[in-house]
């Protein structure tokens, strides 16, 4: 038995080596697949456990989301007049609701991008009132709200961890169908069986990510990401922080968008979101996810643009317009004095570095050459290394995406976090201090920085929290 296994494995590796030599496809040779469940990690040491429970008595508080305008929703400075026109036209499309005739559904979470990417301005994240609630029954739709979708909770996109046969799933399962809508005669579909998924502990969630400044993120060269990572190697090693990129399988470049850095470009993300969140097919993703013949009420791909449009931009397919809007969207402007005053924010910034947060939340990366002048040679103050890190048992979701394993996530860019209402990949908390504590658990690469965070005095911790909410 052993011998057989060995020879099969050997034959497979020889075949793989041969295939790599003779490869005539575009695919880059794949790394070993990442694990959905990493091997059991050592429990937290007694000191860290004590520090975590003692933190309940801390007096430092999350000052809460900042409310003053932070320049969000505006276009980047330095766009040409025609780029600015394209931005404004594309923004309209980003916020306009689609109907079934336009390709909406048969299954989806919402009818426009802007509903989920709404706070504190168009292009942001989940707003105070979850748009999924009203959409469930819009235009006669007969959807039942699953218990996890609540009016004051975040917009949620569910994924199932495993298929019925026990194999890995990990894909999004949209909340709703077009059944009952006035514009969807004859279509009758059941929503996914969320009750069964909850009972089987087989459901995990993602909340929307903010889009401000993402044109700059798209433009950061892989070399810059890797050089920055290399520069912190010794400091990371000392604290047990690793980090690796999520290289995509098509051309091997570094993925940077999504909670697991699963996409390299805004255009691919836009095409994917159009199909997953709204059920609208395009040239990026031409095949309907739900193919019940009675529910195919628009020709596919649903949106291929319009060659007869009056202007080039108007004629673009929607994913192209969404990508333009996102590429030209300015980043959030941090506040120098709110909350807590300038001295506290300045002190918090220094503590953010001395506790080791910056070893993952890299303050600044830089763009190099760029076709669009406004994106060229710019500082990108994103507070992320764009790497994947093992975040331990507490944050693990068991979803594998490309080279991201079930316990790994991309360091969330913290720019704009000062105004975010919901935090962490599934929106499990709105308290920024709790979001930091959740970084500590068996197997997490962030345990040592959290230990230092917990060793701060109350005043110091307050400074650090003020700094985070100033972003």
Residues contributing to the site for ligand HEC (CB under 6 A): 109-110, 113, 115-117, 155, 157, 206-209, 211, 214, 241, 257-259, 266, 269-270, 273-274, 277-278, 322, 326, 355-357, 359-361, 389, 391, 395, 409, 411-412, 414, 417, 420, 423-425, 432, 435-436, 439, 445-446, 449-450, 453, 468
CB of 6: closest distance to ligand HEC in angstroms?
37
**22 versus 152: smaller Cβ distance to ligand HEC:** 152
Toward ligand HEC, which CB reaches closer, 259 or 328? 259
Dihedral of CA atoms 291, 296, 302, 307 in degrees, nearest 10, equals 140
Smallest separation, CB 76 to ligand HEC (Å)? 16
Closest to ligand HEC by CB, 83 vs 348, is 348
- Asked if 211 and 329 count as a contact pair (C-beta separation under 8 A), the reply is yes
Nearest residue (CB) to ligand HEC, 81 versus 147: 147
Whichever of 339 and 356 has its CB closer to ligand HEC, that residue is: 356
Q: Considering beta carbons, is residue 109 or 191 the nearer one to ligand HEC?
A: 109
In the complex, minimum distance from the CB of residue 257 to ligand HEC, in angstroms, rounded to a whole number: 4
Long-range contacts of range 64-68, CB-CB < 8 Å, 24 or more positions apart?
64/469, 65/120, 65/418, 65/419, 65/420, 65/421, 65/469, 66/335, 66/338, 66/339, 66/418, 66/419, 66/469, 66/470, 67/120, 67/419, 68/335, 68/338
Question: What is the nearest approach in angstroms of ligand HEC to the Cβ of residue 4?
Answer: 40
Q: Which of 390, 397, 444, 442 is nearest to 36 (CA)?
A: 397
Cα dihedral 134, 149, 107, 123 in deg (nearest 10): 70
- The token duo for 324 is 């333009």
390: β partners = 408
CA distance 230 to 248: 20
Q: Look up residue 159 and give its DSSP letter.
A: E
Shortest CB 13 distance to ligand HEC, Å: 32
The CA–CA distances, whole Å, from 313 to 296, 299, 317, 323 equal: 28, 23, 9, 12
Of the pair 117, 173, the CB lying nearest ligand HEC is at: 117
Cα gap 156→134, rounded to integer Å:
14
Nearest approach in angstroms of CB 329 to ligand HEC is 10
**Surface-to-core class of residue 364, CB atoms within 10 Å of its CB (0-12 exposed, 13-18 middle, 19+ buried):** exposed
The least CB distance from residue 437 to ligand HEC, in Å, is: 9
Degrees to nearest 5, angle at CA 292 with 286 and 298:
50
Tally of helices (H runs) and strands (E runs) in the chain: 17, 10
Minimal distance, residue 113 CB to ligand HEC, in Å: 3
Task: Give the residue with the Cβ less far from ligand HEC, 184 or 396.
Answer: 396
Per the DSSP assignment, residues forming a β-bridge with 389 are 409
Peptide bond into 368 cis (omega under 30): no
* Minimum gap (Å) between residue 297 Cβ and ligand HEC: 19
Cα–Cα distance for residue pair 380/343, rounded to 1 Å: 24
Q: Using CA atoms, how far apart are residues 135 and 127, in angstroms rounded to an integer? A: 14
Q: In the complex, what is the shortest distance from the CB of residue 392 to ligand HEC, in angstroms, rounded to a whole number?
A: 9
Nearer to ligand HEC, 330 or 360 (CB): 360
Nearer to ligand HEC, 1 or 348 (CB): 348
Question: In the complex, what is the shortest distance from the CB of residue 167 to ligand HEC, in angstroms, rounded to a whole number?
Answer: 20
Which of 206/244 has CB closer to ligand HEC?
A: 206
Selection from 129, 147, 141, 90 nearest residue 113 by Cα: 90
Using alpha carbons, select from 330, 333, 328 the residue that is nearest to residue 81.
328
Q: Minimum distance from CB of 171 to ligand HEC (Å)?
A: 10
């Amino acid at each position: 038995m052993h011998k057989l296994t060995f020879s099969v494995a050997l034959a497979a590796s020889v075949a793989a080596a041969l295939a790599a030599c003779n490869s005539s496809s575009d695919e880059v040779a794949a790394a070993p697949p990442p694990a959905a469940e990493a091997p059991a990690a050592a429990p937290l040491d007694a000191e860290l456990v004590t520090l975590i429970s003692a933190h309940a008595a801390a007096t430092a508080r999350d000052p809460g989301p900042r409310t003053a305008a932070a320049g969000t929703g505006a276009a980047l400075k330095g766009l040409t007049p025609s780029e600015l026109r394209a931005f404004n036209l594309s923004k309209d499309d980003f916020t306009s609701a689609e109907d079934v005739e336009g390709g909406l559904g048969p299954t989806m979470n919402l009818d426009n991008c802007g509903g989920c990417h709404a706070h504190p301005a168009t292009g942001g994240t989940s707003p105070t009132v979850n748009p999924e609630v009203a959409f469930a029954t819009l235009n006669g739709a007969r959807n039942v709200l699953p218990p996890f979708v609540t009016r004051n909770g975040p917009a949620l996109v569910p994924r199932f961890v495993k298929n019925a046969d026990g194999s890995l799933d990990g894909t999004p399962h949209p909340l709703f169908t077009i059944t009952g809508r006035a514009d969807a005669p004859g279509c009758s579909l059941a929503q996914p069986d969320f009750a069964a998924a909850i009972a089987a502990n087989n459901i995990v969630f993602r909340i929307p990510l903010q889009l401000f400044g993402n044109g700059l993120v798209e433009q950061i060269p892989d070399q810059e990401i890797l050089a920055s990572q290399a520069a912190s190697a010794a400091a990371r090693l000392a604290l047990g922080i690793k980090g690796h990129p999520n290289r995509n399988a098509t051309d091997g470049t570094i993925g940077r968008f999504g909670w697991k850095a699963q996409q390299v470009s805004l255009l691919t993300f836009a095409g994917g979101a159009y199909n997953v969140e709204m059920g609208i097919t395009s040239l990026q993703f031409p095949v309907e996810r739900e193919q019940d013949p009675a529910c195919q009420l628009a020709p596919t791909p649903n949106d291929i643009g319009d060659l007869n449009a009056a202007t080039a931009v108007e004629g673009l397919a929607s994913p192209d317009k969404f990508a333009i809007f996102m590429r030209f969207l300015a980043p959030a402007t941090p506040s120098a004095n709110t909350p807590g005053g300038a001295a506290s924010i300045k002190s918090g910034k220094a503590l953010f570095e001395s506790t080791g947060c910056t070893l993952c939340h890299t303050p600044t990366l830089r763009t190099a050459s760029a076709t669009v002048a406004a994106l060229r040679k710019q500082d990108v103050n994103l507070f992320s290394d764009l790497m994947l890190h093992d975040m331990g048992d507490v944050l693990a979701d068991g979803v594998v995406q490309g080279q991201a394993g079930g316990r790994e996530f991309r360091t969330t860019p913290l720019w704009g976090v000062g105004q975010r209402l919901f935090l962490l990949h599934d929106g499990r908390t709105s308290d920024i201090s709790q979001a930091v504590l959740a970084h500590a658990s068996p197997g997490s690469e962030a345990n040592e920085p959290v230990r230092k965070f917990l060793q701060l005095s109350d005043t110091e911790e307050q400074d650090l929290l003020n700094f985070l909410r100033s972003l």
